[in-house]
Homo-oligomer: A and B are copies of this chain.
Amino acid sequence: MKQVGEIIREKREEKGLLLRHLAAEIDIDQALLSKIERGERKATKEQIVKFETVFALKKGELMLQYLSENIAYDIIEEKNPIDVLHVAEDKVEYLRKQNKRK
């Protein structure tokens, strides 16, 4: 199961880019990119969008990994993380219906 940072590093190396090249494209410091790739820091949503563009990934593909990874790490230390996700699912479905109605 690949982490977002790993995916980014792989893609960067596939393209033969150096940290500083990709960092420049994303418009961040190369040290920060290094940390993101190694999972020491999290990217922002905006940066994930940029990565998708630079790597020509399907829109939302990396974002899906990113969002779910954040959630997973947020709750992994909790009592019943799986239950939390199931209840969250109920709530999302409920909220969507609500929105549809109005």
Contacts and interface: CB of A to CB of B under 8 A. Distances in A.
A74 B94 CA distance: 14
B91 A68 contact: yes
Total identical chains: 2
Contacts of A88: 67-69, 71-72, 85
Q: Does more than half of chain A's interface fall in helix, strand or loop, or is it mixed?
A: helix
A6 to B, nearest CB: 13
Given A85-B92, A88-B85, A91-B1, A67 B71 contact: no
Interface of A: 1, 60, 63-65, 67-69, 71-76, 78-96
7 contacts: A64-B83, A67-B88, A68-B86, A71-B88, A72-B91, A75-B92, A76-B92
